[in-house]
Amino acid sequence: MTKYWISSETSIEIDSAEDNNVVHFSVDDKDVIVSNGQTIYEALQRQSGIGNIPALCYHPSVRPYGACRLCTVEVSEDGGKNFRFVASCLYPVKEGLVVKTNTERVRNLRKGIIELLLARCPNTKVLQELADEYGVEKPRFALGDHDCILCGLCVRACQEIIGKSAISLVNRGIYKEVAAPFYAYELGEECIGCGDCAFICPTGAIKMGENGKPELPRVKIPYAEIGAMASAAEG
Ligand code: SF4
Ligand code: FES
């Protein structure tokens, strides 16, 4: 008989659990048994209270994207001898995997990510709460005034749930932002005004405007810089 945990407080004893459709692995020293074909994060979402994983760019309705890296955990595929970091929203569960969701190394890595995100979006409630939880007092970097963490959830929701592509992520690096086609901030006819993007946004960066269309967060690139970028691209 083997004891498997199905939540943080409940375990079941299973005599023989040979089945190609299930995977046995351990999470924070608890043996768990889950259906095959899911990611670590998805599997643990269904195991109440097991593991401690924050996730900002994950939503069960859209494909995982791996943007925020907050869901990073340590995994070992050799029975616990060697561990490495993986994004749990992308990494599939495997037989015999050893997963640690809240080690000091993991917490330090998440703390660094939270510090960067909080510096970009200092007034965002979800980041302030994570900063409290992970002991980030004040970012060491210059503070920005954004709300958008570029998780891409709004874009994926528009494409995958609604079947439109009224918004997308454009540009790279510090210029990356959410925009309508042809790099517009105002949404045109391609947007049906469903509000899915505003609903799914983890930071509240998208609000519905009075015209029934979402108002996108604006990075506000100076026009001089856009001109320079265009010339460089042409040139
Ligand atoms: S607007 Fe919201 S959902 Fe869209 S990328 Fe930014 S934070 Fe993510
Ligand atoms: S939730 Fe996994 S990378 Fe963001």
Q: What confidence category does residue 3 fall into, taking pLDDT thresholds of 50, 70 and 90? A: confident
CB 196 within 8 A of CB 162: yes
The pTM of this model reads 0.88
pLDDT in tens, 107-134: 999 999 999 999 999 999 999 999 999 9
Ligand 1 site residues (CB inside 6 A) read: 148-154, 178, 201, 203, 205-206, 217
State whether 21 and 95 are in the same domain: yes
DSSP structure string for 52-85: ----SS--TTS-----S-TTEEEEESSTTSS-EE
Domain of residue 96 covers 2-102
Q: Is residue 130 part of a domain?
A: no
- Looking at 102, 136, 162, which one is the last position of a domain? 102
Q: Is residue 112 part of a domain?
A: no
Which residue's CA is minimally distant from atom 1 of ligand 2?
A: 55
Q: Is residue 187 part of a domain?
A: yes
- Looking at 102, 119, 138, which one is the last position of a domain? 102
Q: Is residue 32 part of a domain?
A: yes
70 lines ligand 2 (CB under 6 A): yes
Q: Can you tell me which residue has the tokens 């593991």?
A: 51
Which CATH number characterizes residue 167's domain? 3.30.70
Which CATH number characterizes residue 21's domain? 3.10.20.740
CB 95 within 8 A of CB 105: no
State whether 6 and 93 are in the same domain: yes
- Residue with the bigger pLDDT between 48 and 72: it is 72
- Looking at 86, 102, 118, which one is the last position of a domain? 102
Q: Is residue 87 part of a domain?
A: yes
Structurally, how many domains does the chain consist of?
2
